[in-house]
Amino acid sequence: MAATSTSSALGGMPRVMHRFFDRRGGVSKGIYASLNCGRGSDDDVQAVDENRRRVAAEMNLAAGRLITLYQIHSDRVESVTTPWAPEATPEADGLATNTAGVALGILTADCAPVLFADAANGVAGAAHAGWKGALAGILENTIQTMINLGAEQKSIVAAVGPCISQAAYEVGDEFRENFLDRSPSHSVFFGPGARERHWQFDLTGFVTARLRETGVRVCLEANGCTYGDEDRFFSYRRATHRGEADYGRQISVIAMGA
C-alpha cells in the first residue's frame, strides 16, 4: 500500500478526497524506488504507470481519472473538465476543476505541492509551487481559476505539503535578489548561510505567506524535509549533490467526490 499523509483541514471537508503521497509503496527500482509517479523521468514506463494506478486506487478512482501536467515552473493554470491522454498533457503548473471524480495530481521533488478545496461549491485545485512559480503567481492564478469555476475565495482552503526545508535550501546572492527586486519585505524568507554571500531560503514560509495574502485559509502540512528524509521523499537537490543522472517524483492528489 502506498504511504500517504493528509491535511487535517481538507480531511474534515465533505466530498474532498486528497493525499500527499511519499516515495514508498511502489514498484520502481534503483534511484526511482519506489513510488515514482513522474512520466518525465527516465524510469521504466510500465513501472511509472503501475505506480500511478496504485495512487488512483488509493483514491478509489480508475487510473485514467488521475491527471498531471508537464510542469515548467510557470504561472500557467489549466481548467479541467475531463481527463486528458498522456500524450496531450499541457505545459502548466496549476490545475482546477469543478468536475467530480477528476483527480488533480502535482509532482514534486523539493518544490511545494499545494492542494486547494472549496467543498461548498465543489471546486478543487492543485499547484506546483517552486520558487519561480510561487514568485510568478502560480498560487494566485490557481485560486483565480477556481473562482472562475464557481469557487468563493473565502471558502477555499489551501494545504501546503512536504517540500525542502530552509536548513537544506542554500542559495546565492543572485537568487535572493530575484525576490528583493519584487519587494524588500521578502528578505524575511532568507536566513544567513554557512558560506559567504549565501543564504538559506524558506520556501514553505514564502508559499504560506503568499497564500495568506490572498485571504484563503491556509493549513501547513509540510511535515518532513524532502532533501533530508531520503526514506520518505525524492529530492532533486539531493540527487544533484550526489551526481545522480535523474530522480523520482512523489505525487500529491486532490479530487471532489460526487
> Could you report the per-residue pLDDT of 85-134, keeping only the tens digit for each?
999 999 999 999 999 999 999 999 999 999 999 999 999 999 999 999 99
Percentage of the chain beyond pLDDT 90 is 93
Among the listed residues 3, 38, 21, the one whose alpha carbon sits nearest the alpha carbon of residue 239: 38
Instruction: Write down the pTM of the prediction.
Output: 0.98
CA distance 39 to 20: 18
Please give the residue that has the higher pLDDT: either 12 or 108: 108
| Cα distance between residue 27 and residue 97, in whole Å | 30
What tens digit of pLDDT does each residue of 38-56 get? 999 999 999 999 999 999 9
Q: How far apart are CA 135 and CA 203, in angstroms?
A: 10
Instruction: Return the SS3 of 30.
Output: helix
What pLDDT shows up at residue 222?
Answer: 65
Number of structural domains, the chain? 1
Residue with cell 542559495: 171
User: How far is the CA of 95 from the CAs of 43, 62, 132, 202, 242, in angstroms?
Assistant: 25, 19, 17, 24, 32
Mean pLDDT score of the chain, rounded to an integer? 96
CATH for 44: 3.60.140.10
206 three-state secondary structure: helix
CA pair distance 243, 219, nearest whole angstrom: 35
Chain-centroid distance of CA 26 in Å reads: 19
Contacts of 164 (CB under 8 A, 6+ apart): 110, 111, 203, 225, 226, 227, 235, 237
Q: Which range of residues forms the domain containing residue 150?
A: 4-256
Q: How far is CA 144 from CA 140, 141, 214, in A?
A: 6, 5, 10
Q: Please say if the pLDDT value at position 76 is more than 80.
A: yes
Task: Give residue 197's region: left, alpha or beta (phi > 0; psi -120 to 50).
Answer: left
